[in-house]
Amino acid sequence: MKRRTLPLLTLIILLALTLPALAAGPGVSPDAALTMLKEGNARFVAGKPKYPHQNKERRVLTATKGEAPFATILSCSDSRAPVELIFDQGVGDLFVVRVAGNVAGTDEIASMEYAGEHLHTPLLVVLGHSKCGAVTAVVENARLHGSLPALAAKIKPAVFKTRMAHRDLSGNALLTAAIKANVQQALADLFARSRIIKDLVKAGKLKVSGAIYDLESGKVEWLEPHPGEKGLVGGKAGAK
């Protein structure tokens, strides 16, 4: 007898319902959440992390009381970009969605919608990184096999736009520009495909930001808001 599999979002919701979630959310504003990430990254870069919320008490608290992360992070699955370490955070602080190339496909968007609508995270960050292998493969038109072409297809629009806008670039300069464009592409895909995220942003309940992590320095560069965000959400572009 063939087993039926449930959609990812259904599985996430069923799992969440087994825990006593903290319905009030993290209790911080979108701007305060962004400041917490910036301060944590500054500690990481300086080599002075505090390693917060990584003890037994925190494990027990989040296991018994549920989770209330203050930020959702869509990041690349690259092993050199460990999100909690980059922002010096601990158990239950960040709701992390990791996928090669930090693309916003159906499963990734569903996960982010869950975080925003059910966990009430006030901040959503799409985090790219330098020397991204997934973006590099598309820039170099590498031969891909298996399921990789489907993932690369989500990155190709960003690379195409970069080539059209910067015909003078090549090599590392082209790759760096394409990596930034890919973060913006993920944001555009998120807004285009998620009514839930758009409504949360429009209501001022969610701030959305793009960023790039530098593998060598450890520093996170925060990008300007997506140029089409105001139009995509049909009004207010993010929380102030």
Sorting pLDDT into bands at 50, 70 and 90, what band is 240?
A: very low
* Residue 52 neighbours by CB under 8 Å, 6+ apart: 88, 89, 90, 93
pLDDT at residue 170, rounded to an integer = 95
DSSP assignment of 75-139 equals E---TT--HHHHTT--TTTEEEEE-GGG---HHHHHHHHHHHHTS--SEEEEEEETT-HHHHHHH
Closest CA to 75 of 96, 94, 95, 45: 96
Tell me the CA distances in angstroms from 52 to 66, 112, 175, one per residue in order: 18, 24, 35
Q: Which domains does the chain have, with CATH numbers?
A: 25-224 (3.40.1050.10)
- Strands of the chain (E only): list them: 71-75, 94-98, 123-129, 207-213, 220-222
Please give the residue that has the higher pLDDT: either 19 or 121: 121
What pTM, to 2 d.p., does this model score?
0.87
Please give the residue that has the higher pLDDT: either 232 or 116: 116
Of 15-19, 47-51, 97-101, 182-186, least confident by mean pLDDT is: 15-19
Q: Phi/psi at 17 (nearest 5 deg)?
A: -70, -15
DSSP 3-state percent helix, strand, coil across the chain (nearest 5): 50, 10, 40
